[in-house]
């Protein structure tokens, strides 16, 4: 019923316009660190928040808490936001990226920052994209997981390897979903089986992607071994944890969401509620229940979870402080956003680096 209501809302609003600078109804959303980007129903991209690294894609290095159009009049079918970069996917399967490019996350053979969408240099075509901390990944239209930038230690034989153009990381042809805000990608295959690339350890705080960290005797548990036998409808991961939705919307997690929280050595339920969507950041995780409410746990410095609490960490899911109903959500390390059924974006957390005291503690509509 929830998905049918969302579809009806989008159809009813398809011809509507907005006074918000020409932006229409939003249909998809992704959150970076201190900024966010979304697509309207025509496929135009809009971004807001921190912009000094060019991550808003406007052609300028400026911040804005009003949604601004991404330069170039592109029309995208998908969008993702990473740490300080973002990418869009066009109808032909070509990827376009903008923002910071320290490790090649824009997919060009240089480390130059781009202030406007620049086409990723590859002949490969993609069906979806995911932007992480210092990397971007895409599912090839003929199969396989392709990544560029830095995807963490253990991906290749080198301890630190920058991929300035798309590189085939996993040749599996049955992958249908990918998600990753930290230095790890969570993927789901067509049978609902999830795995992480690279495969991090559980409760080994020497480093999530350090394949030989610490004096491990016996060897530390690996995340993928814990999830191998579970069918999932959603899967995501942060620095020290992974979470998934099992059938009937059961929210499961392994590892430790935040450094001072208990570490789960097997997938365990973290709530008795049932959920329909899930999103992970480096040290936090949120889920959307069937009523449209968002529930979050993990790191809460600067009140980034939007739950009206000054606690540094939240060990059990708590509801974001609003009665508004949402149809989708996206989160990152310092800020979060959700879409309501009218196609409006609501955000909370820290969006402007230049003023750390400017924290949105409750969901606020983005103009």
Arithmetic mean of pLDDT over the chain: 88
Please check the confidence at residue 338 and state whether its pLDDT lies above 70. Answer: yes
CA torsion sign, 271 to 36 to 259 to 238?
A: positive
- pLDDT average, residue stretch 26-40: 96
Answer whether 307's CB lies under 8 Å from 320's CB.
yes
Please check the confidence at residue 25 and state whether its pLDDT lies above 80. Answer: yes
Please check the confidence at residue 17 and state whether its pLDDT lies above 50. Answer: no
25: domain range? 2-365
Please check the confidence at residue 126 and state whether its pLDDT lies above 90. Answer: yes
pLDDT of residue 303: 84
- pLDDT average, residue stretch 193-213: 71
Give the total number of structural domains in the chain. 1
Please check the confidence at residue 200 and state whether its pLDDT lies above 60. Answer: yes
- pLDDT average, residue stretch 110-121: 96
Residue 5: phi and psi, rounded to 5, are -65, -40
pLDDT of residue 14: 31
pLDDT of residue 153: 61
Residue 51: give its domain's CATH number. Answer: 2.130.10.30
Tens-place pLDDT, residues 151-180: 876 555 445 578 899 999 999 999 999 999
pLDDT of residue 110: 87
Tens-place pLDDT, residues 57-108: 999 999 999 999 999 999 999 999 999 999 999 999 999 999 999 999 999 9
pLDDT of residue 355: 53
Please check the confidence at residue 356 and state whether its pLDDT lies above 90. Answer: no
**Model confidence band, residue 21 (pLDDT cutoffs 50, 70, 90):** low
Tokens 């969570």 identify what position? 186
Tokens 């989160």 identify what position? 331
Tokens 């969008």 identify what position? 79
pTM of the model: 0.89
**Model confidence band, residue 346 (pLDDT cutoffs 50, 70, 90):** very high
CA 87 to chain centroid:
12
Please check the confidence at residue 205 and state whether its pLDDT lies above 90. Answer: no
Tens-place pLDDT, residues 280-297: 999 999 999 999 999 999
- pLDDT average, residue stretch 139-155: 87
**Model confidence band, residue 22 (pLDDT cutoffs 50, 70, 90):** low
More confident position, 78 or 201:
78
- Residues 140/43/244/190 CA torsion (nearest 10 deg): -40
Please check the confidence at residue 271 and state whether its pLDDT lies above 80. Answer: yes
**Model confidence band, residue 247 (pLDDT cutoffs 50, 70, 90):** very high
Cα(346)–Cα(231) distance, rounded to whole angstroms? 32
pLDDT of residue 161: 72
């Amino acid at each position: 019923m929830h998905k049918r209501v969302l579809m009806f809302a989008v159809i009813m609003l398809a011809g509507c316009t907005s006074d918000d600078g020409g932006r229409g109804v939003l249909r998809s959303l992704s959150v970076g660190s201190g900024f966010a980007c979304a697509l309207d129903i025509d496929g135009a991209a809009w971004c807001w928040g921190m912009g000094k690294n060019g991550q808003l894609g406007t052609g300028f290095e400026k911040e804005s808490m009003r949604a601004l159009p991404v330069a170039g009049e592109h029309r995208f079918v998908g969008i993702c936001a990473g740490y300080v970069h973002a990418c869009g996917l066009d109808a032909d399967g070509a990827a376009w990226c903008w923002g910071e490019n320290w490790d090649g996350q824009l997919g060009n053979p240089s480390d130059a920052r781009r202030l406007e969408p620049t086409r990723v240099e590859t002949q490969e075509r993609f069906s979806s994209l995911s932007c992480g901390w210092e990397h971007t990944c895409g599912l090839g239209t003929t199969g396989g997981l392709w990544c560029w930038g830095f995807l963490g230690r253990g991906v290749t034989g080198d301890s630190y390897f920058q991929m300035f153009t798309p590189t085939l990381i996993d040749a599996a042809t049955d992958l249908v979903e990918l998600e990753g805000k930290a230095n790890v990608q969570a993927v789901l295959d067509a049978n609902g089986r999830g795995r992480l690339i690279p495969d991090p350890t559980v409760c080994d705080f020497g480093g999530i992607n350090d394949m030989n960290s610490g004096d491990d005797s016996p060897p530390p548990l690996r995340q993928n071994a814990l999830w191998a036998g579970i069918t999932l409808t959603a899967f995501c991961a942060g620095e020290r944890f992974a979470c998934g939705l099992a059938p009937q919307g059961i929210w499961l997690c392994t590892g430790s969401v935040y450094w001072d929280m208990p570490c789960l050595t097997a997938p365990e339920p973290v709530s008795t509620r049932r959920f329909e969507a899930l999103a992970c950041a480096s040290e936090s995780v949120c889920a959307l229940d069937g009523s449209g409410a968002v529930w979050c746990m993990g790191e809460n410095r600067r009140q980034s979870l939007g739950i009206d609490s000054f606690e540094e960490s939240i060990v059990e899911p708590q509801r974001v402080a609003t009665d508004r109903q949402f149809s989708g959500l996206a989160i990152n390390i310092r800020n979060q956003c959700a879409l309501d059924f009218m196609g409006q974006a609501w955000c909370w957390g820290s969006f402007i680096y230049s003023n750390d005291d400017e924290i949105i503690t409750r969901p606020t509509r983005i103009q």
